[in-house]
Amino acid sequence: DADVTQTPRNRITKTGKRIMLECSQTKGHDRMYWYRQDPGLGLRLIYYSFDVKDINKGEISDGYSVSRQAQAKFSLSLESAIPNQTALYFCATSERGLSEQFFGPGTRLTVL
């Protein structure tokens, strides 16, 4: 079984809808991250969490919110989706103090 899983893998939605992307990990890592990937722009950090009670904004947090329900679960919400949020979304985890981040398989989100 994969160490970092994301659901759904693909989602098509309409402008204005609320969307939640979920991430679960079995690696036992404290730190979890949400990124989006766009062609030509690479990976950009949306939010990160160092533990259940510690959530921080990344470089592109506007229009997004997150919830860390447990050490193993980190959800990303788009309160009112817009077309320029169409992208690949990745969850990642890392141990405390180490830079290696382990990525999930991604969610392809399309906002019409």
Partner 1 sequence: QKEVEQDPGPLSVPEGAIVSLNCTYSNSAFQYFMWYRQYSRKGPELLMYTYSSGNKEDGRFTAQVDKSSKYISLFIRDSQPSDSATYLCAMRVSNDYKLSFGAGTTVTVRA
Separation in Å, CA 49 to CA 41, 84, 97, 102, 109:
23, 24, 13, 14, 22
20 scored as a contact of partner 1 (CB under 8 A)? no
Q: Are 111 and 13 in contact (CB under 8 A)?
A: yes
Which among 14-22, 60-68, 69-77, 96-104 is the span making contact with partner 1, rule CB under 8 A?
96-104
Exposed, middle or buried by CB within 10 Å (0-12, 13-18, 19+), for 61? Answer: middle
Minimum distance of partner 1 from residue 103's CB (angstroms): 3
Q: By CB under 8 A, how many residues form the interface with partner 1?
A: 21
Site string for partner 1, 48-87 (x = CB under 8 A): x---------------------------------------
Q: From the CA atom positions of the chain, what is the Rg in Å? A: 13
Exposed, middle or buried by CB within 10 Å (0-12, 13-18, 19+), for 72? Answer: middle
The residues in 35-54 that bind partner 1, with binding defined as CB under 8 A, are 39-45, 48
Nearer to partner 1 among residue 18 and residue 109 (C-beta)? 109
Which among 11-19, 65-73, 74-82, 89-97 is the span making contact with partner 1, rule CB under 8 A?
89-97
